[in-house]
Amino acid sequence: DDAGLRSLALPVLARFPATDQGAADLAAAVRDSFEPRPWRLWADDPREAVGARVRAAGEQGSFDRWQRQMRPGGPRPG
């Protein structure tokens, strides 16, 4: 139920302090979440403390994923 999920936005985001580490942890949680639906709902929230923060975390998670893909991970031809 979307209303129930929306009501959980502030309590969930309260677990991630408004610090650099909290933002990094939030980005990792958004990026690695098994169920993206709550994060999508919260990203559409008009409240600055919810919507803007979740959108920024999602963008950071996408950037982190891109950076990992750009790093060589296997053996290099020599």
Judge whether 26 and 57 are in contact, CB under 8 Å.
Answer: yes
Domain extents in the chain: 2-70
Q: What pLDDT does 67 receive? A: 66
Average pLDDT of every residue of the chain: 86
**Comparison of pLDDT for 61 and 51, the residue scoring more:** 51
Provide mean pLDDT across the span 32-61. 89
Residue with tokens 């994060």: 39
Q: At what angle do helices 53-70 and 20-32 cross, to 10 degrees?
A: 70
> Does residue 66 carry a pLDDT above 80?
no
Provide mean pLDDT across the span 50-55. 92
Q: What pLDDT does 33 receive? A: 87
Separation of alpha carbons 49 and 75, rounded Å: 44
